[in-house]
Amino acid sequence: MVRRLISEFLSDESGATAIEYALIATGISIVILVAVNAIGAKLDGTLTTVNTSLK
């Protein structure tokens, strides 16, 4: 009985799948944050230029 429980525990991969999905979601989140930060800095410069031109 103990042998069967240990065998089932070692063959269960549902936890590994959840960890893989978490790593993928983390990677995508980092890419989104970097992209938004870069676009935000560029947009800030553009809006500052437009604001200066309108004054």
Say how far apart CA 20 and CA 53 lie, in whole Å.
50
Q: What is the mean pLDDT of residues 39-55?
A: 91
CA 1 to chain CA centroid, Å, is 42
Say how far apart CA 33 and CA 7 lie, in whole Å.
42
Q: What is the mean pLDDT of residues 24-33?
A: 97
Q: What is the mean pLDDT of residues 19-23?
A: 90
pLDDT of residue 5: 82
Q: Which residues contact 18 (CB under 8 A, 6 or more apart)?
A: none
